[in-house]
Structure 1
Amino acid sequence: MTVAVGYPEHWEADVVLRDGGTAHLRPIRPEDASAVQDFHVAQSEESIYLRFFAPLPRLPKRDLERFTNVDHRDRVAFVVTIGEQIVGIGRYDRIDEKQAEVAFNIADSHQSRGLGSVLLEHLAAAARERGIRQFRAEVLPQNSAMLKVFTEAGYEVTRRFDDGVVDVHFDVDPTDRSRAVMESREHRAEALSVFGLLHPKSVVVIGASRKRDSTGNLLLRNLTEAGFGGDVYVVHPEAEHVAGHPAYRTLQDLPGPADIAVIAVPADAVTDVVRSCAAHGVKGVVVISSGFAETGPAGLALQRGVVRTARSNGMRVVGPNSFGLLNTDPDVRLNASLAPFLPPAGNFGLFSQSGALGIAVLASAARRGLGVSSFVSAGNRADLSGNDLMQYWEEDDNTRAVGLYLESIGNPRKFSRIARRLARSKPVVVVKSDITGQELPPGHAVRVSPAGAGALDEMLKQAGVIRADSIHRLFDVAQLVTNQPLPSGPRVGVIGNSAALGTLVVQGLRAKGLRVGATPVSLHPEASDAQFREALEEIFRSDLDSVVVTFTPSVGASERDVASALAEIAAGSGKTTVACFLGVHGVSEQLSATTTSDGEVRTLTVPAYPSPEDAVWALAATTGYAQWRTRDHGNYVNPEGLQPRRARRLVTEWLAGTAPGEPVRLDSHQVHELLDCYGLTALPSRRVTNIDEAVQAANFLGYPVALKSVDDNLRHRIELGGVRLNIDDDAELLDDYLAMQRTLTPLVEADQVALEVQPMAPNGVACVVRSGEDPLFGPVVSFSLAGDATELLGDVAHRISPLTDSDISDLIRSVRASPRLFGYRGLPPAHTGALEDLLARVSVLADQLPEVAELLLNPVVAALDGVYPLSAEIVLQANPDRNDSPRRKLA
């Protein structure tokens, strides 16, 4: 029986195209008939023939009605729109229960923008949701563009030539290659969309007043004073000139195109301005104006309207409530921000969500002499996000390291994926404000997570991100990673002319887990320049990875001469070096020297810190990152024997007829069925309500057995009498059954306590494995050892799926109680290989089934010969719109 399906609003998406422009994708609607006909009529004869295998100047009324009236189940169609115009159509029609025929039609004027690839991704995701497993298509041999869409999508495509037509078919289940293809396309498209904002050839300022103290006037002057290499325009409805620039009444009056628009008009006028920008072909807008989501629900609605208008017309949005953006590239010199100066060019990319902190962040970089490659203030971050900037910085040769100040994270799963890839080549430093979880900063309209800050910390660690707790710490790391080679190991040398400072350094290094690799050198406070140079040369010849140098002014040595010697020796050594020179802070010319490596001349600067603690913290954080970077990060797990299609069918069946968000708790038989799809099995058990049933169950399951309460508050509480173990025969079972009834009945306030009988597992370490679909993070896998102490101390580790084998190995070793798994105090070691395999299977289940709101295996006994889940609970919940789903879309 066909189940009626309503309009699937969660299939709508804003998408970034191959050239960095944006478009809107949505299911087709009956009222699209006229636009579909216009789309068809505008196509060339060749395009029509390739799609319909026949000349067809106009679509017949009957076909037009059939094309635009679909059931969103057996017949699905998407349109891609830019403005009000349809620029692409893709559809599938079900052939049988598992197969569907797919077809596309892309507007001639929008060919080669990646529309076919985007449509295929979204159609495939919709098909999987509707139980379809294979696409088929009939394509004319000369339709090379469409054949390319299929063959380059990453699926295993089979082609057969028959009767003048190429018959194409392929499974639509994601593969490692199809995921890689999607991520690569997403990366290139989003990087290009940011490139267009940071490398414009022309900028128009809208809202610049003739008043010098107005925001728009300041923006215009900043653009001019930075020496922007492109054209600068200003739109003003009345003035002839603003800040020395000729003013134009409207965008349509401009003498040339404008790549980006910087908007500083009242909030309620922004949407109309954005619409006007779209008509003029502007590629992106920077909205400085405030008065949006930070003001309440009405402002949030206004903000969403601005973003919707921009994206649907091909534009990205920075802001609103943004401080602006800048690019120090000498060929660009863009300062489209409220910063009164363009920072010196450098290798550090900066992203800030807080507009108010924009000036403070740039001023802090300037005070330290730290050059910046580019800077973006996202304000309310309604569109452009840190994820977009990381995509760009990965490709930007001018950026060696990146820093992000985040007040919230809209899509942590995508953040983790991008940051992990970027961090393998460039350090990523993140400052996350204390506002997390259930509370959001004003203007930040994102999902919230019940997981709390712990899950965020684990996610950042998993991605190789350096976590800083302040802007100060962010720049401490930045001045090191942009000016020094990364440490090759944890061995650190210490040298200075103050025993007190040297002691502080040594204590700090040991507290951070670094090794003092040689005897610390403490020179006499009045050591001469020559003595200092000789000692420096000797310690840099030692077998060390890093060196910490302290210096206090003295009559024996000149600070300038010691700094010059240190810079020269450090640059030639290849060792990571940090300094604590009292009175010197940041990146200083006196601590800089040039070196030649592989024919390339490079200037290296020893970063200076005002205190030993700052120097040690930055070195320790960078060393930890360097060690993460050189590690084997493993491969995404894919255990044998998985049955994801069967699991998908079962979940769809069990959720049929339930409302979105309605929880469905699976019974024991359903839990067994779903776990079996992933090669997971809990020890069998039987619920009993009287002693006769208990004896019958024990004899069926086989002695020895355990007798346990099924009450949620008592089932794991041995100390409360909720569990009896190692019951060997009927007589012992009778005694324990009666004793538990007497003990537990008052605790549950019931006449009869429900119990269950289960075979005894081997002795081992009791663990807890949990996974669930977090509304913000997506599929989170958690691991801990069982027991009150673990729960009270919060000794629980989290990872965001999908996981690699290295992630899983780290997961079980990252809880503080993990030594119990490895033979602690003579205990037999657990079979960690079997435990890792179980976690791998749970992580894949969580990744593939977003409807699994909660899976709990408690306890899992990790024994010498394997693992034994004793109890399993699963709660399902309809959840069709996961962040970072297997189809490209802007959050």
Structure 2
Amino acid sequence: MLLEHILKPRAVAVVGASTRPHTIGSDLLKRLMEYGYKGGIYPVNPKGGEIEGLTAYKSVDELPAGVDLAVLVVNAKFVLDTVDACHRKGIKGLVVISAGFKETGAEGAALEKALLERVRAYGMRMVGPNCLGVVNTNPDVRLDACFAESLPVAGDIGFVSQSGALGGGILNILKDLNVGFAQFVSIGNQADVNAETALEYWENDPDVKQILLYMESIPNPENFRRLATRISKKKPIVALKAGRSAAGASAASSHTGSLAGGDRAADALLKQSGVIRELSLCDLFATAKVFSNCPIPKGDRVAIVTNSGGPGIMATDAVCEYGMQMAPITDETKAKLREFLPAAASVKNPVDMIASAPLEHYRKTVETVLADPNVDMVMVIYLPFLGLKDIDVAKALMEIREAHPEKPLVGVFMTTNEFFTTLSNMKVTVPFYMYSEDAADALRRLNDQRLWIARPEGVVPELAVDEVRTLAIFKAAAAEGRRELTTRESLDVLDACGVRICRSGMAHSEDEAVKIAETTGYPVVMKMTSKTTSHKTDVGGVRVGIANEAELRAEYRDLVAKLEARGLLDGLEGVLIQEMVKSKRELVTGIATDPQFGPMVMFGLGGVFVEVLKDVAFRLAPLTDQDAKDLIHSVKCVKLLEGARGFTPAQMDKVEETLLRISQLAARHRFVKELDINPLMVSDRDGEPIAVDARIAIDPEAVLKL
């Protein structure tokens, strides 16, 4: 049992029902009655008597049998005793409206903990505490057990809100937009029922066609990812995730860590789970409208029908900017359009009917374009000309939508607000927007969902590594109490994990450096490795393009002299002599750890520009093979890897494998807190990705517990 007793109860008890007007106990009871709840309604008030024409029971113990849901509107100090009484009565569902729990401090948190323990012990499910309530608009249920201002409008949305007041506001606005919902759950403090509970419940509920989430936190990211990844393949999940703070980022010392600020982890989680993220209520409503009124398209080809050239051009720009195609309209369709459109009209895409277009031209043009096999979605633009009424065009589009439901159809009506007010009082079956950019964005969301559904599931591969060698390196550093591995140790870890590193050797003297260089072959790179200095470039610890023995000796002596002058010579372990990989493309990848979400893998443009251009992206570990592909293609510099500007194409399978290998390291060894491979060079010769430099930070105490 998940939420049946809460969202589809046979009878409801309102504990704390009141005769005092404009109190929650009074308003909530009235809402249940006014909305026409199909089950029994039982007010509970210590005074007994009658409330709103219903018999009021003095206690929960006096209630008749068969009550599934109790809505608690009592002082927090009475909640535990009330839950005990509900248990005695066999009530399995609770909605605790009452505030005064963890949101008030330590004492309230302790009370909430005790409440949850009791609910779990009794085998109940609870929404809240500190919540707005729940709604189910199914005509066989008609449950409105919340105290939002407006009575709910039936629709296909399952809506979860962590904020009660904001949730109520969203319900009001959705009503004005004529977008209805099937079920609503205000989770409040989410002590028991949370967004994941609702997701799982709605996964196979035929009433819910799309899921909206307002979240301020994701308590269990791993479980959320598992559920949302599966459910988003069946129905769209759209989230407004608030709280974009930089928790934990300020302490990061690596490039990867410093770029992981804000809510990178939450954003990565939502992307990997197929959740469409919106950053504003305006965008949330726009997306909800399009999913409520349009099917998922078969492709990304968009046709535009307009009565004005300028907006058609702007719409075309927006379609292309959002990664969709302008549909190549067939010659047959163009010929049909020429049969009735004036000679001045353009029958190319965008189809410009010109300003004199009458209502009949709108009908014929839209129907003709919708029938074109090369068209997957249609945007219709209206500007007021020559007395043609906006509402008449809108009604015509809705009639066409009813006759041709197989393709998405959206309207852009650049008219007065009075038009949209009129729509709010009608049954609307086409999403209407004021601006073409908003409509293009909505079509993009449909296309995003299409692509997500078509995306392969993805697997987390098991890659062969030298685990014994890897752990030995970590334990040696931890035994010395070091948080930072040396460059040599970091590269050795990557080598043990199967990441391709450049050929190299560690030298502890000038002569030894020369011998290694002779083996490696000139030109070489010389890098200092130190247990006390992590950023080598700050002290001139990286020397590149050393062409021969004489240059190598000179650079070695200069390095030693500079370190000695700064008092840093004692920390020098030696120098790393590496093959010099010839590459004009420097990438960066690594691991950053979010305090709540755990390890993330970063990928993007590297070298000295990493923190300036910030062309990077993140995904949570462990990565699937599909996550690795998506991560690579989510940054602009991917074009350099694909062979742009005459570059040798990168070995993309090897780049993906590199990401998967460091993801595996991060997932298996949570004591690895930060990792930088910068640069990860792409060889000009054959496109192989090669780790040239690396830094790893660990939690030594966690390593020593192994």
| TM-score calculated relative to the size of structure 2 | 0.84
Aligned CA distance change for structure 1 residues 288 and 452 (closer, same or farther; 3 Å)? same
| Structure-2 residue corresponding to 1:760 | 579
The answer as to 2:305 corresponding to 1:495 is yes
Residue among 676, 690, 694 paired with 1:868: 690
CA distance in structure 1 between the aligned counterparts of 2:484 and 2:534, rounded to whole angstroms: 18
Contact 1:761–1:861 at 8 Å: present in 2 too? no
| Structure-1 residue corresponding to 2:134 | 325
CA distance in structure 2 between the aligned counterparts of 1:286 and 1:681, rounded to whole angstroms: 56
Amino acid at match of 1:618: A
CA distance in structure 1 between the aligned counterparts of 2:274 and 2:575, rounded to whole angstroms: 45
| Structure-1 residue corresponding to 2:286 | 476
Aligned CA distance change for structure 1 residues 539 and 370 (closer, same or farther; 3 Å)? same
CA distance in structure 1 between the aligned counterparts of 2:125 and 2:278, rounded to whole angstroms: 29
| Structure-2 residue corresponding to 1:641 | 464
Aligned CA distance change for structure 1 residues 195 and 580 (closer, same or farther; 3 Å)? same
| Structure-2 residue corresponding to 1:623 | 447
The answer as to 2:413 corresponding to 1:578 is no
Contact 1:563–1:591 at 8 Å: present in 2 too? no
CA distance in structure 2 between the aligned counterparts of 1:402 and 1:564, rounded to whole angstroms: 28
Amino acid at match of 1:857: I
Aligned CA distance change for structure 1 residues 758 and 268 (closer, same or farther; 3 Å)? farther
Contact 2:524–2:544 at 8 Å: present in 1 too? yes
Residue among 179, 184, 188 paired with 1:375: 184
Contact 2:517–2:524 at 8 Å: present in 1 too? yes
CA distance in structure 2 between the aligned counterparts of 1:861 and 1:493, rounded to whole angstroms: 43
| Structure-2 residue corresponding to 1:243 | 52
The answer as to 2:326 corresponding to 1:516 is yes
| Structure-2 residue corresponding to 1:110 | none
Contact 1:481–1:622 at 8 Å: present in 2 too? yes
For residue 411 of structure 1, report the CA deviation from its aligned partner.
Answer: 2.5
For residue 746 of structure 1, report the CA deviation from its aligned partner.
Answer: 4.9
CA distance in structure 2 between the aligned counterparts of 1:385 and 1:655, rounded to whole angstroms: 42
| Structure-2 residue corresponding to 1:793 | 613
Amino acid at match of 1:380: N
The answer as to 2:675 corresponding to 1:855 is yes
| Structure-2 residue corresponding to 1:806 | 626
CA distance in structure 2 between the aligned counterparts of 1:253 and 1:654, rounded to whole angstroms: 69
Residue among 351, 364, 371 paired with 1:541: 371
CA distance in structure 1 between the aligned counterparts of 2:93 and 2:384, rounded to whole angstroms: 53
| Structure-2 residue corresponding to 1:205 | 14
Map of 1:807-822 to 2, 5 A cutoff?
A: 807-822=627-642
Aligned CA distance change for structure 1 residues 829 and 524 (closer, same or farther; 3 Å)? closer
CA distance in structure 1 between the aligned counterparts of 2:511 and 2:304, rounded to whole angstroms: 75
Contact 2:473–2:489 at 8 Å: present in 1 too? no
Query: Structure 1, residues 822-853: CA drift from partner, whole Å, max 9, x if none?
Result: 33433333222112112112222322333333
| Structure-1 residue corresponding to 2:553 | 734
For residue 579 of structure 1, report the CA deviation from its aligned partner.
Answer: 0.7
For residue 758 of structure 1, report the CA deviation from its aligned partner.
Answer: 2.7
Query: Once the two structures are aligned, what percentage of the paired residues are identical?
Result: 35
Cα RMSD for the two superposed structures: 3.5
Amino acid at match of 1:758: I
Query: Structure 1, residues 155-201: CA drift from partner, whole Å, max 9, x if none?
Result: xxxxxxxxxxxxxxxxxxxxxxxxxxxxxxxxxxxxxx133321122
For residue 406 of structure 1, report the CA deviation from its aligned partner.
Answer: 1.5
For residue 751 of structure 1, report the CA deviation from its aligned partner.
Answer: 7.0
CA distance in structure 2 between the aligned counterparts of 1:342 and 1:647, rounded to whole angstroms: 65
Aligned CA distance change for structure 1 residues 460 and 745 (closer, same or farther; 3 Å)? farther
| Structure-2 residue corresponding to 1:429 | 238
Query: Structure 1, residues 327-377: CA drift from partner, whole Å, max 9, x if none?
Result: 111111111111255423211111111111122111111111112110011
For residue 418 of structure 1, report the CA deviation from its aligned partner.
Answer: 2.0
Amino acid at match of 2:449: Y
Where structure 1 has 5 or more consecutive residues not aligned to the other structure, the ranges are 1-19, 21-192, 440-448, 593-603, 881-891
| TM-score calculated relative to the size of structure 1 | 0.68
Amino acid at match of 1:762: V
| Structure-1 residue corresponding to 2:335 | none
Where structure 2 has 5 or more consecutive residues not aligned to the other structure, the ranges are 249-258, 328-347
For residue 686 of structure 1, report the CA deviation from its aligned partner.
Answer: 5.2
CA distance in structure 2 between the aligned counterparts of 1:279 and 1:219, rounded to whole angstroms: 24
Please state whether the residue corresponding to 1:421 is helix, strand or coil.
helix
Query: Structure 1, residues 184-240: CA drift from partner, whole Å, max 9, x if none?
Result: xxxxxxxxx133321122222222222122211222221222222222223322322
Aligned CA distance change for structure 1 residues 854 and 271 (closer, same or farther; 3 Å)? farther
CA distance in structure 1 between the aligned counterparts of 2:246 and 2:128, rounded to whole angstroms: 22
Amino acid at match of 2:378: V
Aligned CA distance change for structure 1 residues 742 and 301 (closer, same or farther; 3 Å)? same
CA distance in structure 2 between the aligned counterparts of 1:673 and 1:788, rounded to whole angstroms: 23
CA distance in structure 2 between the aligned counterparts of 1:369 and 1:879, rounded to whole angstroms: 57
Contact 1:488–1:626 at 8 Å: present in 2 too? yes
Aligned CA distance change for structure 1 residues 820 and 510 (closer, same or farther; 3 Å)? closer
Aligned CA distance change for structure 1 residues 733 and 657 (closer, same or farther; 3 Å)? closer
Amino acid at match of 2:420: H
Aligned CA distance change for structure 1 residues 657 and 264 (closer, same or farther; 3 Å)? farther
Contact 1:201–1:230 at 8 Å: present in 2 too? yes
Aligned CA distance change for structure 1 residues 717 and 493 (closer, same or farther; 3 Å)? farther
| Structure-1 residue corresponding to 2:275 | 465
Map of 1:829-848 to 2, 5 A cutoff?
A: 829-848=649-668
For residue 605 of structure 1, report the CA deviation from its aligned partner.
Answer: 1.7
For residue 806 of structure 1, report the CA deviation from its aligned partner.
Answer: 2.0
Query: Structure 1, residues 701-734: CA drift from partner, whole Å, max 9, x if none?
Result: 6665421133599877669743223445543321
CA distance in structure 2 between the aligned counterparts of 1:769 and 1:394, rounded to whole angstroms: 36
Map of 1:689-768 to 2, 5 A cutoff?
A: 690-695=509-514, 698=517, 705-710=524-529, 721-727=540-546, 729-743=548-562, 745-746=564-565, 755-764=574-583, 765-768=585-588
For residue 861 of structure 1, report the CA deviation from its aligned partner.
Answer: 2.7
Query: Structure 1, residues 356-401: CA drift from partner, whole Å, max 9, x if none?
Result: 1122111111111112110011122233221211111211101111
CA distance in structure 1 between the aligned counterparts of 2:546 and 2:492, rounded to whole angstroms: 29
| Structure-1 residue corresponding to 2:172 | 363
Amino acid at match of 2:305: I
Aligned CA distance change for structure 1 residues 410 and 642 (closer, same or farther; 3 Å)? same
For residue 866 of structure 1, report the CA deviation from its aligned partner.
Answer: 3.1
Contact 2:520–2:579 at 8 Å: present in 1 too? no
The answer as to 2:51 corresponding to 1:232 is no
Contact 1:688–1:756 at 8 Å: present in 2 too? yes
CA distance in structure 2 between the aligned counterparts of 1:766 and 1:488, rounded to whole angstroms: 38
CA distance in structure 2 between the aligned counterparts of 1:728 and 1:786, rounded to whole angstroms: 25
